[in-house]
Amino acid sequence: MDADRLLANLRKGVVESCVLAVMREGEVYGVDLARRLTGAGLLASEGTLYPLLARLRASGEVTTRWEESPSGPPRRYYRLTPAGQRSVERFDETWRTFAGAVDTIMKETGR
Amino acid sequence: MTTTQDLPAVRAYLDDLQQALAARPADERELVLDGVRQHIEDALGGGADRDPAAVQRVLDELGDPAAIAAESGEAAVPAPAPAQPAVVPFLDRRSGVVVTALLVGVGGFLLPVLGWIVGLLLLWSSRSWRVLDKLVGTLLPFALTAVLLGVAALLMTTQIAWGHLAILVGIIGGTIAAGAYLLVRARPRG
């Protein structure tokens, strides 16, 4: 499997949780979220954030709010619901264990 | 007021995205389109920045509409059906089994007849006994009574009292024996 394909597969299971994780810091608006996750290498491109957000809204883990902007049109803010909060905490815990296990096996077996 | 959506490059991009999302459910498509529209709006500072190069950069960073649509079609790992709570119904737990067996065995003496009937209802609702054991637990008093009456008849006892004694011992001994039998035969689930 080439590196791009491998990376795409690895992202699949975790990127939604990373979206939720950013919102733990407080509400965000789409552009900031997209740039941060793309910058971190977690999204292939900024636009792929929006299907994720649509899914997270549909599943009730994320909710949105409009805020009037002094300069320009109102902006949409995204934030965690209590269900989203629980999801990301569960992921955080599971991820740390899992990442630690992968790390250990790679270190033990690597040259 | 003109918005960024009036820019030809933006319009073309959104049209492409709409096309790419055509197969997705309408509500999901709207959420995605709406998010991307808003993103462009925000990234271009509410339409103030009309420099074509800047517009193109925003669209480039959004990425190929086909990639966005592919992400949209990508069902996340489906959430497993909510796990059945691992609560074993009271009747199937050890305590439920003991209560049931005691009611069958001595319930009828504590609360005449009714206690025994309640015990039987619990017994037949429980999954901790096989049907054969339930039958034994239910019929044992009758069977024992029948046997004792038979013995009394064989002994040619004409005295009614012996018949009464056979019935009394059969019923009492049979129910207690049934309760004990059920205690031994139970297979609690939890």
User: Could you read off the pLDDT of B66-83 as tens digits, one per residue?
Assistant: 999 998 876 544 444 555
Q: What is the pLDDT of residues A73-93, one digit of tens each?
A: 788 899 999 999 999 999 999
B113 Cα to chain A: minimum distance (Å): 52
In the three-class reduction of DSSP (H, G, I as helix; E, B as strand; rest coil), residue A2 is classed as: coil
> pLDDT digits over A53-64, tens only?
999 999 999 999
Distance CA B175, CA B180 (A): 9
Interface confidence, given as ipTM, is 0.85
- Residue B100's pLDDT is 85
Q: Tokens 């005449």 map to which residue? A: B112
Q: Which of B31, B36, B47 sits opposite A47 (nearest CB)?
A: B36
CA closest to B21 among chain A residues: A51
- DSSP structure string for chain B: ---GGGSHHHHHHHHHHHHHTTTS-HHHHHHHHHHHHHHHHHHTTTTT---HHHHHHHHHHH--HHHHHHHHH-PPSPPPPPPPP-PPPGGGSHHHHHHHHHIIIIIHHHTTTHHHHHHHHHHHH-SSS-HHHHHHHHHHHHHHHHHHHHHHHHTT---HHHHHHHHHHHHHHHHHHHHHHHHHH-----
Provide the pLDDT confidence category of residue A40 given band limits of 50, 70 and 90: very high
The whole-number average pLDDT for the span A37-49 is 94
Contacts of B78 in chain A (CB under 8 A): none
Average pLDDT, chain A: 92
Q: Is the four-CA dihedral B83, A53, B23, A12 of positive or negative sign?
A: negative
Residue B12 has pLDDT above 70, yes or no: yes
Closest among A7, A37, A9, A51 to B66, alpha carbons compared: A51
Comparing B31 with B158, which gets the higher pLDDT? B31
Q: Looking at chain B from residue 56 to 75, which residues have their Cβ under 8 Å from any Cβ of chain A? A: 61-65, 67-69, 71-72, 74
Q: Quick count: other Cβ atoms within 10 Å of Cβ A47?
A: 27
Write down the pLDDT at residue B79: 46
Structure-token pair, residue B114: 């009714």
> How high is the pLDDT of residue B158?
66
User: Nearest residue on chain A to B59, judged by CA atoms?
Assistant: A47
Indicate if the pLDDT at residue B15 is higher than 80.
Answer: yes
What is chain B's mean pLDDT, rounded?
82
pLDDT, mean of residues B118-138:
85
Residue B39 to residue A46, Cβ atoms within 8 A: yes
Residue B120 has pLDDT above 90, yes or no: no
What per-residue confidence (pLDDT) applies to A108?
94
